Amino acid sequence: MALDPTARQANFIDSIKKFFVDNINRIEGLPLLFDRSLVTPQIQGVEVDKWVAVAFGDMNMGHVSDSLVEVYCCSRRDPEGFKLAQIRDKVVGYLTDSSATDGLRRIPLYKTPAWTQVGSLIVYQETESGILVTSDETKFKIVPARFKWAAII
């Protein structure tokens, strides 16, 4: 028996990727990776000095399903961490909704590949990390978000 579109992990992942590509990459112009790796991406052979990496974490399926997504805000050649703070602010801005009475962002849950909306994902922010630094002087901050949605299981 096939899973309902609201219970498919592939639909959840595709919906999250679309949200980040449409907003963080296309609107904000930040390079985007879907990997836990902090390897500096290259655009036309040139290393960038700021980017965002999105990593998918645990998933709990039920009538109210939830999944953790960790957003890594990253910068290089950023002695005081100001570029990192700007990236973090952009990311958090897209994960919240100041016009909603509860402040929670709703993101469409799509059935792919037709891109038909089958529900909405509600974003709950979790505690962010402090600023972390790698051996190559990449600064990064982890902004975790828990997504919840109604699913038919």
- pLDDT at site 49: 93
pTM, 2 dp:
0.94
Instruction: List the chain domain ranges.
Output: 5-150
Nearest CA among 128, 131, 110 for reference residue 119: 110
pLDDT digits (tens, 9 = 90+) for 28-77: 999 999 987 777 777 777 789 999 999 999 999 999 999 999 999 999 99
- pLDDT at site 62: 96
Domain formed by 5-150, architecture: 2-Layer Sandwich (3.30)
- pLDDT at site 35: 82
pLDDT digits (tens, 9 = 90+) for 95-135: 999 999 999 999 999 999 999 999 999 999 999 999 999 99
Residue 133's contacts (CB-CB under 8 Å, 6 or more residues apart) are 139, 140
